[in-house]
Amino acid sequence: MSQRPPANRMTLQTFKSRLLGAKKGHGLLKKKRDALKARFQGMLKEIVDAKLELSDRLKDAAFTLAKANWANAGDDITSNVVERAKRPSVQAKLVADNVAGVKLPVFRMLHDPTKDAAVQTLGVAHGGAVINACRESYLAALQVIIRLASLQTAFKTLDEEIKMTSRRVNALEFVLIPKIEDVMAYIILEMDEESREEFFRVKKVVAKKREKIAKEKLAAELEGQQKQAAWGSNPLDAPSALEAHDPDIIV
Span 135-182, pLDDT tens digits:
888 889 999 999 999 999 999 999 999 999 999 999 999 999 999 999
Q: Is residue 169 part of a domain?
A: yes
Q: Is residue 250 part of a domain?
A: no
Q: Is residue 182 part of a domain?
A: no
Could you say which DSSP state residue 7 is in? -
Beta-bridge mates of residue 90:
111
Q: Tell me the pLDDT band of 68, cut-offs 50, 70 and 90.
A: confident
Q: Is residue 146 part of a domain?
A: yes
CB count within 10 Å of CB 134 equals: 25
Give the E-state strand segments of 11-83 in sequence order.
none
Cα separation, 230 vs 226, whole angstroms: 6
Q: Is residue 103 part of a domain?
A: yes
The pLDDT assigned to 237 comes to: 53
Range of the domain at 69: 23-174
Instruction: Assess whether pLDDT exceeds 60 at residue 238.
Output: no
Q: Is residue 65 part of a domain?
A: yes
* Cα 196-202-208 angle, rounded to 5 deg: 135
The pLDDT assigned to 240 comes to: 54
Q: What is the pTM of this model?
A: 0.67
Could you say which DSSP state residue 6 is in? P
Q: Report the mean per-residue pLDDT for the chain.
A: 83
Q: What's the distance, Cα to Cα, between the start and end of the chain in Å?
A: 92
**153, 107 contact by CB (below 8 A):** yes
Domains of the chain: total: 1
Beta-bridge mates of residue 176:
none
Share of the chain above pLDDT 90, in %: 43
Q: Is residue 54 part of a domain?
A: yes
Model confidence over 75-92: pLDDT tens digits? 667 766 767 677 778 888
Q: Is residue 116 part of a domain?
A: yes
Instruction: Assess whether pLDDT exceeds 70 at residue 203.
Output: yes
CATH code of the domain covering residue 80: 1.10.287.3240
The pLDDT assigned to 101 comes to: 84
Could you say which DSSP state residue 241 is in? T
The pLDDT assigned to 128 comes to: 66
Higher pLDDT: 221 or 81? It is 221
What is the pLDDT averaged over residues 17-45? 93
Cα separation, 190 vs 167, whole angstroms: 33
